[in-house]
Structure formats: structure tokens, C-alpha cells
Structure 1
């Protein structure tokens, strides 16, 4: 939830503060561009003032207009296939200059074009399909990983600009103070786009790869990024953008972009998903023959590319270049266009390596809107060294954290080491944004926006929040007010504090929390890899078995619940936890906990079958857990960390031991819990998120220490909970569960004209829970155990699972208004329990592309 809020904040700030500005112009040049030989007008010709980023494109009739307040004396006119023209102009005047462009006399060394009578497309006896099958067959051979050793330099540049902004907003008084921002326009890099750069991130790395044993190490040589100040989490923005613009490997079976899984046009399944056409044959300057192979989806609604690639005919069947675009019919939010261009360079052994990859996308709230956000990620590779072994230590680390020295490289370093050049507009971004963030008006408004969207208000080394928990209510506490906050790295990178205080006006009790965390690796505890020790104490209310997802349990929205939900406990929890993560994404935790549970009033008493009333249940626990999440990535910033779901599994195993007579502990027991999560990508059918859990408790314990299965009586759809199960309804000392949440991605709605325009997407889920309570933990057999809870009439409300599982399923629609999911949930059994619902409507907020 937090990383989404960060993205919303950044987008809001950028769009709010940096909008297009119309400035009174002094030098105005208009005219018509024509072909010098044919006299025909030329559309989309780029006309710019020499030495500036101010430019324009001619329209369909060849007409152009360009203007500036600065006294430029020349314009430069450029057009593919024509010689550049540099023409003098009179500064400070309005003038008409018609331009005649001379074609360049260039031609391909060899072009062979064949034509045939149009017929129904088929793979059989199709030379284009035979060619792509050769490319697929040689795919592994043409990957860099086919070498025993590879090393190279990688320069990664990501830039975002506001595009084609309205020219009226600058006339307003509020925006005059930001005039310097709007002067830095680029109208030449992308025809038809007037770009105002507002974000830039650069990273230079040395990469080492070894095949046996396989490992890749990236050594960061330099890192530089636009800094929006403390109000915006720059690290979080960078992580999010790079996830959207993931690195593209055309030789992979699938390509992740904009959180969607695209099938590669040279995947094993490509011939069944794409149509291929040989559209040209070309001989390069070095006399290498290439085939231009065009491709398009068989079904334009599928998550596929269209475009063209150039294949070598030297026996390697390697990709020499590829141009990919996304079909406009694909169900993707906010993306007006997406392009990927890749160029490959030849190695001395005749094989090809990726030399440059450029991904650019045009974002907008509407498909036809002119203004929006334009993002470009360019990755350049150079200095390839093949099959030169290095010492083992060169390949040992998977990742490397950039040091302060690496993050503060000199301008001379970047001038000498960039593998690509910055445009004139890009080169000014760092200084312009730095000036913007030092303006008091910007900082004040940024603080307000941060509070509204992220829920925190910063005060240097301390943040106040989250705002969503300031007020809530429940049947036990009545109106509940809460105020809290946490420290930031500005106070210390090693020591962190978090606290809150709350007061219930009905039970007239104070609740509070305090934690102190020490980071052993002198970096934020919210960043990978973690290595910290945390001590905490919490006194608060809790519904047994309720687990909120990504939100605080006293969030105002969770105060609204269905049915009867007055069974609360007061909890005093003392905890000590040590967490240690490793570079290979294996981690372990060690913990100690003293837990005191007290019934909140008479609604949930602890009574044995002998009639004894227990005022407080005290347990002392020691715990140990391991977790393995290969290739896990995070949205992570200064004060948050959220995992990015990918195709790799996440496995965890936890053992908790109750210690009797230690610090007042009342019971000896062991609780073993296993969980596995994985996302399965099913190509055209979408993807499924699958969770499998199992647990077993060894020893005799009262019901509050059994597994109280995650129920949900709110109106939100919670992925990990049973959305039609009542709180405290089921307990187990052994259980197994399977949770499948499937997203079709518009598979069916895309084929219905009206729904296709709405871009709705289908979901379906099923949840199965097996479990039970053994005789040793059954209070009807052992009278010293606590009775299972009952309602006011004495009717039981807590049960053990019988010989059949609890089953719940749902069908739903997501992407309503781009971010709302609505599910129709069905409960299939145990319908004879009191106050249960067979059907329910639940909603969930989810932002996705």
C-alpha cells in the first residue's frame, strides 16, 4: 500500500508543479517545408533553434511555427532521408522562412522483395515460420550465457518527461515563480512530442558473468538521480519505474513490462501465437545478409507484441535488431503507446551481443489525450570481454550496494564514462529540480500532499502518522483516537524508534506501543538485506484471528464490519526479534515473546469446564523461522519495503515453542507452520496466485493458543482471509489450506465490444481449508481447558473443522475505474452455524497497469 502511495505522490507533485508554460515570444519563425525536387510538402519535419531544445514539427501540410524569447540567430531543419538545413533568422522578429530540403543519395546495397497472391495465413510451408523456428532453435546459442565468461559495462539511463502540456496554465500567477522549469523543453528527440524532462536516473556498472558455477555480479561504478527532497521518496520512485520498465531480453520466453507478462516473438510458442511475414532482405555495409521479419498477434487482444526483427543468415540465425510495439487492443491502463528498440553488435567470433536497448512509453489518463507522462529507459552495453576468467572473488556477490562515493561521482567522471550522451534538456534537469526543491512554496505543498496520500507528515528526523489510524471505532472501545509516528534516517541510520498512543472513550483505557530497532549493517531497516534487532512492547485490543493486510488494524475503513464482532481481547506483548537476510535471499529470524491475553469485559471470558474463570492467559514463547525467496525484488525506500511479486516461489517455515514456568508461561507446546506462495503465469489465460499452508501444534493448549483461522467480517476483499467466515468461528491444532486467486486479464471481456472499452478484467478464486482439533485439545473431553466461546444465548460460535473442508469461492471484476475490484463471494458449507452468510459482495482497491 505504501509504495502505491509514493507513486501517487510523485505523480501528483510532478503534474501539479511542472506543467506547460506559455511565455511571450519575441523571435517567431513560420513557413512551409517542401521537397526541393518534387516540390511536395513534407509532414513531421523537425525545426529547432540551433543550440537549444526549442523545436516544432511541420503538420500534414508541411507548415511549421517556432518561437522563443531568446535571440536565436539560426534554425536547423532535419528530416530522415534528407540533408540537414541550417538557416539564419533575425532575432526578435516575426518572419516567414520556407525551406526546401534536398534528398540524400543513399540506397541499400541489396534489397530483394518478393510478392505473392494474398491467401489465408498458415504455418504450413511458410518460409517466415520456418525462419523463426530456426531462430528459436539457435536461441540458447545466441545468448551471452552461452559463453563460459562474459563481462561488460552497462549504462542505464531512465528519464521521465511531461509531454505536450497545455500552454495556458503558465499564464496563472501561481506558476510564474516556476518559469525556469518550463523553459527546458525538448521538441526534437521524438517527433510530435514536446517533452519537459522532470526526472532522470543514471547508473554505470561493471557486470561479470560465470557459467560454471553460474553467477552474475554487478559492481556499481556510479549512480546519480534527480532528488525531489525529503517529501518524495526518490529511491521508491526509482524502484517502481525500473519495475515498470524492466530489462528486456528478447531471447527469453516471456518479457515482463508494465507488470504484464508478454510472450516473446522468439519464444517456443511464438509460431502458434504470432503471424510472421518476410517483408524484406537486406545486405549491410559489411555485406552480411539480413532478413526483415515482421510479426503481428494472431489475436490482437492477447498480451503480445507486434513489430519487426532483423535476422542474420550466417548460420547463427541471430537477432541483429528488433522493434517491438504493443497492440492498442491490449487491456493495459494509462498506456497510449509502448515501443522497444534493440540493437545488437557483432563480436569477433561472429556472434552478436545486445548493444543498446531503448524502451519508451507514453502515459496518459485517457487514450486520446495529448498531454501526459513520457518515459524512456535506455540501456547501453559496451567493452565486452568474452571467455576471460577472473578470480573466484570476482563472481561471488550477487548484488552490490552503492557506496556514498559511488553516489557522488564528479561531473568529470560522468562526462568521461557515460556510454551514451545526455540531451541538452536532460543535462539541465538536475540543477532545475534542485532549485525547485529549495523553494519554500514547493516544500509546503509537498508536505500537504505527502500527508494526504502517504498518511505521514515529516518533521525532519520524525514522521507523524499514519493519518488513517487517527480515528476509528469498535464495540469495545467505542470512539478510538490514536496518535503516533516513527523516526527517519535523518535521526540515525542505525537506530529507529516507532510509537503510538491510543484512547478508547467507551472502555476508558489507554493503549500504546513502542519499539526500538538497531541495524547492524548501518543502513535502513527497510532495505534489503536486513540485519537488525528489534525490541517492542504493545498494549492494545485485538480480535482473535483477525489479520489486516498492508494496513493498520485500527484503520478507519476497517471499523465498518458485518454481523456481531464484540469478541475482543486485551493484549500485552513483549517481543525481542532478530532478523538476518543474506544476498542469496535466504533469511532467518530468532524471537522471544511474552504474551498476556485478558478478556475485554464479559463478552469473551476464559472459563474452564470446571467453572473456573481465568483472568489472564500468560505464555512465553521462543521462535525460529527460515525463509527463502529466490530472485525477490522490492519496492523499497527510506521508510517502507514491499515485495514485488514475480514467478519465483517464496517458502517459509516457522517453529514456535511455548515455555512453561518461564517468565510466567502457563503451557508447554510447539507450533510448526509452513507456507509456500507462487505466481503462475498462464500466458493467454492470465495468472494465478497460489498459497499453500500447513500447521501442527504439539501439546495441550486452550483455544486462544490454537490456530484461529483468518476470518474477515469487513466489507473489503482480503486475499489471505476467509471473507465469509466469522471471527473466532474455526480453530485447529492441525490444518492444511490452499488458496488460488486467478486473474484472467480481460480474456473474456475483451471479446465483448462494450466491456472491451471499459477494460474490465475477470477474476475467480477458491479457498479450501482442512483441519481439526485432536482429543487432547478438546475442552469437552478435558475440563481444565477453556470452553469454546458462545454468544449471549449460549449458542456456540467457535467450532473445529469436521471431516469436510471449509470451502469458499468467488468470481469478480477488477479494473473498474482502473483501481476497484468487486467480488461475489460464495460460502459452500458449514451454513448451519449462527450468523453466517451464504453470499456476500466484497471490494478491494488495487492499482495496476
Structure 2
């Protein structure tokens, strides 16, 4: 009953917001459709602007020259405009659907003067260059031409995103594997992007009404409809897939300083510093347009830089507004797997003679090579309609949160047919049905199961799945050869109750390890579905390296078995846990936890108190902790895998805080202490100079505790380069009760390599990092001062191997090359100090697999 009331409440909010926020639909409307063609060649003209003067209503013709426009009955004129063609105005009959086909005549523009100065082009200069003078005017006026110039703005926004396998050969289609899938293949014109044969795989549509208030700044988005080709949730996270695609194909604001595409940022041709990196040329003057336009061509000064090329059409009416922008990239720039990238932005004139973005189209053709082989083709079209400015809304309207999109996913076919600005073409219309049909074919489901096992490591058996596969076999100095087998239940077993378990055996220590957990979902959703709300109880008996807390991989992963140097200091852990996790839709979450932990030393690790000549070995260390974790990740997006969420990193910071307290005597706990840890991480986009990932972290432990209960800093003795560890620090080398750290990892995206002959063709990218760690121990926690605490570790020669940080910070830096074969990064790492510690390396070579665009 409560759930039903909540649903009714959300529906009521939706309807209320629709009534408040969406422009009223006139009882009488005029629907016009038609095709726009070239008057001379009879070719169909795409991207022609079709607008209603004075109404702020318009659309653009599609790739086949077709259009559909619904206008209020009080307007009877429609204007057709396109760059290079004369403007045509047509009168329509009010209140009646009608077909209106239009022919546009080209306009000829005479050049005032042509100067020939020999075969060698003059050197490009910004000084006294009329094209640069013009672009500076556009940059100077860009704030007044953005929607944020108005006090209030609102509009309908329609988004359509589709993906297909492209340029497929007849041989590919004829393969035995595809004999049951011929209904998926589509034929199209050979000149179309993607080639003759394509295989549509994905389609997503969204309709929203968006509001903007300038002061105090506030944005609000009300979802009106969401439609997505849905794959089986057992194999694919549909929400994560949508987030990932939307991250790749973000909105393009040509007036912004930087434009984000494919996880990279490219400097806009209208950025404040753009004349430093771009060349501009006036290539045409279109005086027959209203208002007259200047065609401004642009391109990077260095063809291999991560910049755009294309054309801007600028109005000569004093606004210096962009009426149309065509953006593409040179194939030589340092982007991976990109055959072609083309974007077109269309702007429509407002009644106040300023312009707003009315349509944007972005098409990217992906492929392993830059030739015409098979690939992956994606398109995103965004249409802005019902544009209204300076219509205030009450403060209460902005304070009321918008309902989630979950309430709009069941819109009828009639709703979409009426609300789409442009109807779906035949290829797009078939996607929804084909994806549903595809998942009923047994061979397709078997293929998905195989890929899930290879990529995620799990094999499903209905209500239970076995894995992860990369932990089945591993080895380490304490356990020797280790075998493990485990699994967990799936939503087919229960949507609320989940169990997970594994058992492992070490053939050297001849000990069994195991894990048992049960999780109960409190929001009737999978515990792997955002937002999480669950309680979990677990017990684990296993080995662990002190100080290691891996985020996206398990410690007994086979690949992490290979380690350098001395690696014999391990723990046997018995951990009882009770955790409550609650996430909110604004990506704030908190965790309440109870942890009873027994640590027993193994291998070369020992717990020992007293002076060196009169010491006592401790068999186990017992603590009982209460924990509170806080996390806020504004506008976070991620893909939910079988084990972990894979973050889709954006420009917003992520804040985390953890508070821990232990009370002596509570369930045999041996120490009282409190710990606070704060962390913030952020990615900085600095086009064209690359991307920097910065992490700041600090912690403080109150009270007295032995070094295993303090902060043992994250070391790395594998041969991989780890972003959040110290790659030349040894395990258990440093322990602190207070510390502050800074991690900076900068990827220059080929900014320097792109300018070097020969090397630039390899599309390598420069990387550099710096890691600093300040910290120390108060006298009450220093075993050299307090002999009753656990002694720092020593090697067999009696040399200390665990230390407190001194006055100088621990520091290491690295330089390297990434994008080797498009998936490998290699760093030369240098440890800058504390080189007198035993068994440390001053230099190291570390590698990392990373697939980037």
C-alpha cells in the first residue's frame, strides 16, 4: 500500500509539473510536412531551418530533406533558410494539416577582390587578420548569445541516440553464426555513413522540459518520456549503458571554452584563447541571407593537436551570433578508433533577434583502423522546441524536486508519435522490436553468457552464478598454491535476499579460508542497482596484506600474484561485519558499520611488544569498531558490473569521509581509538594541455594504538602502475597516526608528441605524476618511545623495515608514455627520498593497461 501511495504521489507531481511547466497546447494547431530540395539540381537538402517568425518555433530538415512542424493556429507564415540559399517564406492555412514542398535557389556572392601573390602562401598571422578580428568580436559577444544571458529560459528537449555495427561486408552477413539474425541487417545508400550494410543495435529517446533561472542560478529538468532498447539485465546494465553513451556524446556548447567528447575535452573555436591555437579564414560572404552571414573557416595551427576544424556562419547584424556551426576533426589527431567525427549545430532567431540552439547532430564512426573496414557508428540528435524566455516561475517551483525518469518509461507509442519532432526512419523504427526478438534466440543468449564470463568472470546457473574466474587460482608466499571457488545468488533466486560465499585452500599453509554473507534489500531493488539501500551481515576468514585496500579488484586476483621484492608479511583475518548502506538519488550516501576484527600475523610478520632484548610475541590483535562512512559524488555516472561499479569519470569532485571508533573491552577489543579520514578527488580538464586527476587525502587517529591499527600507507610491490598507491614503497614501510597526501596524475594527450616528426604518427601520449605524503607519529604511538606498543618490523639482519615519516615528505614522481598500441601505459618511476631504507628501489618501470579514446 505504501509503495502504491508513493507511485500515486509521483504521478501527481508529474502531472502538476507538466501543467505548471509545459507550454499550453492550443486547441487548434497547424501541422505542416514536406520536403525541401535544391531548385536547380533537385537534390534533397538536409539541415534547412524551418521557422515561424515571431514565435520562437522551428525545426530543421532531416538528412533526406524532410521536415514536420506543429505550430499554433494564430501563425500563418513559415520561413525556410539555409546557408548558401535564398530565403523562402510560405503562407499556410491555419488549423489544417498540409504538405508544403519547397525549392530553394542558390545565391551567388561576388568577391570584391582577389589577390595572387605567387605559389607560396603568405605566413599566417593573427595581427591585422580580418578573420581573427571577426572571431574576437564573436568571442566578445558570446555571453549575450548564450541562453544564460536571459533571466529565465525554458524549452522542450528531445534526444535521440542510436548505434549500429557499420560497413559490414556480405561475407560477414553470410557467416553461419548470423543465419538466424538476418532480420537485423539493414540496407542503405552506399554514400551514407556506415556503409551499405549496417546492423542496428541500440536506440534511446528522451523528452524533457528544462528550466533555467539566472539569479540565483538554478536548473531544473522534468522528464516527460524515456524509451530505450532494453537488454537482459542479467547480462547488461541498461542504465549504465545509457550513462556511458551519454558521457561519450555530450551536449555541445560551441560558446563554451571547452567541449567534452568521448571523455576528452577539445578547445572550442570560440574559446577565449582560441586564436592562439586555431587559424581562421573568411571564405564567403552570404549577403542574400537575412541577416547577412560571414562563412568563417577554421582549423588547428598544428594539424595533430586535439582541436576541431570546420566552419562557423556568423551574423552581421551587430550580435555576432553563430547561426550554424559545422565541426569535425582531422584523422591525424590523437583520438583512438575514430574514423570520422562530424557535428552540426543549428541556431534559430528569437523574437528579440538573438539566437538559440534549435538542433544539434553528432555522428561518430568508430573503427580499429582508419580505413573503410567494419566499425561502430553512433548518432545523437537533439532538438530544442517551444523556446520561451523571461517567463518567471515562483521560488517554490524550483524548490520542488523533479520526479525521476522511472515514471516516464512506459509512455505509449501514440505519445512518442505525437511528441517526436521528426519521425523515426525505417532503420530506427525496427530497433526496439529487433532487440526484443534477438534476446529470444538461444544462440544469442549463449553468446552473452560467454562474454559475461570472459569479461566479468561469472557463469550463471539461473538463481546462482559461479565466479569470479580470475580468483580461481593464485599464489603467494604464505599460502603457496591457492585454489578458490565461490559464487552468489541472482535476482532469480530473490529480489530482496542475496547470498555470497567462497571457499579457498592454501597448499603451503594447509589452511581453509572462506567467506559467507547475506544481504537484504530494503527498497525492493537489486543490491547492485542504484540507489542502494540494504543491510548486510558477513563473516570472512582469509589472508590479507596489511594496508592494502583494493577498490576495483580482489586481492587474490591471479595477475596480482606477481610481486617484486620481499613479500612475506601477511595477516590471517577473522572479520565479522554488519553494514547498512543507504544511497540517495543526488548521489549522497552513508554507511553505518559494525566490525569485529581479529588479526593474526603470518609469514614474516610478527606482533611483538617490549624492548628488543625482552620482548613478548602476541598471537592475535582484537578490535571492535563502529564506523560511519559518508560519500557525495555530484552528478556521478557509472556502469554497474557484476562485482564493481565502473565510474564514468566526469569533471565533478567526489568527496568521502570515514569515521571509526573502537572501545576497549567491547567484545574483547584491546584498544580505544578514533580515526577520521577525508578524501576529495577531481579531474581537471585543461584543453589543449590534457587532463589532470588530483586527489587530496588526510587522516588523524586519536588515542593510543599499535602501528597495525594506525594508517599503513598504500604501497605497491606489483609490476603494475597503480594510480592510488605509492609504486616504489614497500608493503608496511610507513605507518602514521596523522597524514596528508597529494596525488597528481596528468595526461598531456599528446600535446608535445604531436609536434614531433615521425613520432606524431604513433599517436603516443605523455603522462606524468607526482605523489607526496606528509605524516608522522605522536610520541604516544611511537614504539621507539612506548615499548609496550607493538615494535616496528625488522628484517633478518636486524634492520628496521617499518618507519614513521620524518620532517620531509615521502615523494615519488614518474614520467611515461601511454596509448602504446592504444591500450598500454609505461611509466619510469623515481623515488625521491628515504633511499636509505633496506630493500628499496630508487627507480622502477611500471606498466598499466588502459583503453582510451
Question: If the length of structure 2 is used for normalisation, what is the TM-score?
Answer: 0.83
Match of 1:572 in 2: 574
Match of 2:59 in 1: none
Q: 1:698 aligns with which of 699, 702, 717?
A: 702
Counterpart CA distance in 2 for 1:148 and 1:391 is 13
Match of 1:14 in 2: none
For structure 1, which runs of at least 5 residues remain unmatched after alignment? Answer: 1-34, 46-54, 57-79, 82-102
Matched, 1:157 2:160: yes
Match of 2:751 in 1: 747
Match of 2:812 in 1: 808
Question: By how many angstroms is 1:565 displaced?
Answer: 0.9
Matched, 1:821 2:825: yes
| Inter-CA distance 377–114: structure 2 relative to 1 (3 Å threshold) | farther
| Cα RMSD after superposing both structures | 2.9
Match of 2:742 in 1: 738
The 3-state SS of whatever aligns with 1:596 is strand
Match of 1:374 in 2: 377
Match of 1:449 in 2: 451
Higher mean C-alpha displacement, 489-498 vs 174-183: 489-498
Match of 2:622 in 1: 618
CA contact (8 A) 2:629 2:659 kept: yes
Counterpart CA distance in 2 for 1:153 and 1:376 is 20
Question: By how many angstroms is 1:393 displaced?
Answer: 4.8
Higher mean C-alpha displacement, 787-796 vs 135-144: 787-796
Counting only pairs closer than 5 Å after superposition, residues 157-556 of structure 1 correspond to structure 2 as 157-183=160-186, 185=188, 187=190, 189-190=192-193, 194-229=197-232, 230-283=234-287, 287-396=290-399, 400-403=403-406, 406-556=408-558
Could you list the per-position Cα deviations for residues 549-572 of structure 1 after superposition, in whole angstroms to 9, with x for gaps in the alignment? 411111000011111211111112
| Inter-CA distance 740–556: structure 2 relative to 1 (3 Å threshold) | same
The 3-state SS of whatever aligns with 1:481 is strand
Matched, 1:707 2:711: yes
Question: By how many angstroms is 1:463 displaced?
Answer: 3.0
Counterpart CA distance in 1 for 2:125 and 2:402 is 46
The 3-state SS of whatever aligns with 2:418 is helix
| Inter-CA distance 633–445: structure 2 relative to 1 (3 Å threshold) | closer
The 3-state SS of whatever aligns with 2:179 is helix
Higher mean C-alpha displacement, 813-822 vs 144-153: 144-153
Question: By how many angstroms is 1:603 displaced?
Answer: 4.1
| Inter-CA distance 765–576: structure 2 relative to 1 (3 Å threshold) | same
Could you list the per-position Cα deviations for residues 373-394 of structure 1 after superposition, in whole angstroms to 9, with x for gaps in the alignment? 1111111111223222334454
Q: 2:729 aligns with which of 719, 725, 729?
A: 725
Counterpart CA distance in 1 for 2:104 and 2:713 is 76
Question: By how many angstroms is 1:754 displaced?
Answer: 2.9
| Inter-CA distance 435–314: structure 2 relative to 1 (3 Å threshold) | same
Question: By how many angstroms is 1:643 displaced?
Answer: 2.5
Counterpart CA distance in 2 for 1:479 and 1:539 is 17
Question: By how many angstroms is 1:160 displaced?
Answer: 1.1
Counting only pairs closer than 5 Å after superposition, residues 563-602 of structure 1 correspond to structure 2 as 563-600=565-602
Counterpart CA distance in 1 for 2:795 and 2:810 is 22
The 3-state SS of whatever aligns with 1:266 is coil
Could you list the per-position Cα deviations for residues 182-222 of structure 1 after superposition, in whole angstroms to 9, with x for gaps in the alignment? 25556575496543322211122222222333222222222
| Inter-CA distance 395–485: structure 2 relative to 1 (3 Å threshold) | farther
For structure 2, which runs of at least 5 residues remain unmatched after alignment? Answer: 1-37, 47-62, 65-83, 86-101
Counterpart CA distance in 1 for 2:288 and 2:530 is 47
Counterpart CA distance in 2 for 1:182 and 1:683 is 40
Counterpart CA distance in 1 for 2:545 and 2:641 is 31
Matched, 1:756 2:756: no
The 3-state SS of whatever aligns with 2:250 is coil
The 3-state SS of whatever aligns with 1:131 is helix
CA contact (8 A) 2:151 2:214 kept: yes
CA contact (8 A) 1:574 1:594 kept: yes
CA contact (8 A) 1:685 1:747 kept: yes
Counterpart CA distance in 1 for 2:193 and 2:602 is 65
Question: By how many angstroms is 1:110 displaced?
Answer: 6.3
Match of 2:786 in 1: 782
Matched, 1:141 2:144: yes
| Inter-CA distance 679–448: structure 2 relative to 1 (3 Å threshold) | same
| Inter-CA distance 372–398: structure 2 relative to 1 (3 Å threshold) | farther
Question: By how many angstroms is 1:719 displaced?
Answer: 0.8
Question: By how many angstroms is 1:817 displaced?
Answer: 1.2
CA contact (8 A) 2:569 2:603 kept: no
Match of 1:18 in 2: none
Counterpart CA distance in 2 for 1:799 and 1:449 is 46
| Inter-CA distance 602–717: structure 2 relative to 1 (3 Å threshold) | closer
| Inter-CA distance 531–171: structure 2 relative to 1 (3 Å threshold) | closer
| Inter-CA distance 150–761: structure 2 relative to 1 (3 Å threshold) | same
The 3-state SS of whatever aligns with 2:319 is coil
Question: By how many angstroms is 1:315 displaced?
Answer: 2.4
Counting only pairs closer than 5 Å after superposition, residues 92-131 of structure 1 correspond to structure 2 as 106-108=105-107, 115-117=114-116, 119-131=122-134
Question: By how many angstroms is 1:499 displaced?
Answer: 2.8
CA contact (8 A) 1:549 1:718 kept: no
| Inter-CA distance 155–188: structure 2 relative to 1 (3 Å threshold) | farther
CA contact (8 A) 1:514 1:537 kept: yes
Question: By how many angstroms is 1:358 displaced?
Answer: 0.6
Question: By how many angstroms is 1:459 displaced?
Answer: 3.1
CA contact (8 A) 1:186 1:425 kept: no
| Inter-CA distance 126–185: structure 2 relative to 1 (3 Å threshold) | closer
Q: How many residues align?
A: 756
The 3-state SS of whatever aligns with 1:303 is coil
Counterpart CA distance in 2 for 1:592 and 1:815 is 43
The 3-state SS of whatever aligns with 1:685 is coil
Counterpart CA distance in 2 for 1:37 and 1:390 is 49
CA contact (8 A) 2:159 2:207 kept: yes
Question: By how many angstroms is 1:432 displaced?
Answer: 2.0
Could you list the per-position Cα deviations for residues 500-539 of structure 1 after superposition, in whole angstroms to 9, with x for gaps in the alignment? 2222222222222233334444444444444443333222
CA contact (8 A) 1:239 1:636 kept: no
Counterpart CA distance in 2 for 1:493 and 1:209 is 39
Higher mean C-alpha displacement, 570-579 vs 149-158: 570-579
Could you list the per-position Cα deviations for residues 197-251 of structure 1 after superposition, in whole angstroms to 9, with x for gaps in the alignment? 2221112222222233322222222222223333333333222221111111112
Counterpart CA distance in 2 for 1:204 and 1:814 is 39
CA contact (8 A) 2:184 2:200 kept: no
CA contact (8 A) 2:497 2:520 kept: yes
Question: By how many angstroms is 1:716 displaced?
Answer: 0.8
Question: By how many angstroms is 1:727 displaced?
Answer: 0.8
| Inter-CA distance 427–457: structure 2 relative to 1 (3 Å threshold) | same
Could you list the per-position Cα deviations for residues 284-320 of structure 1 after superposition, in whole angstroms to 9, with x for gaps in the alignment? 66x3222211111112222111111111222222211
Could you list the per-position Cα deviations for residues 645-695 of structure 1 after superposition, in whole angstroms to 9, with x for gaps in the alignment? 223322333222221111221111121222222222232322221222222
The 3-state SS of whatever aligns with 1:799 is coil
Counterpart CA distance in 1 for 2:362 and 2:491 is 34
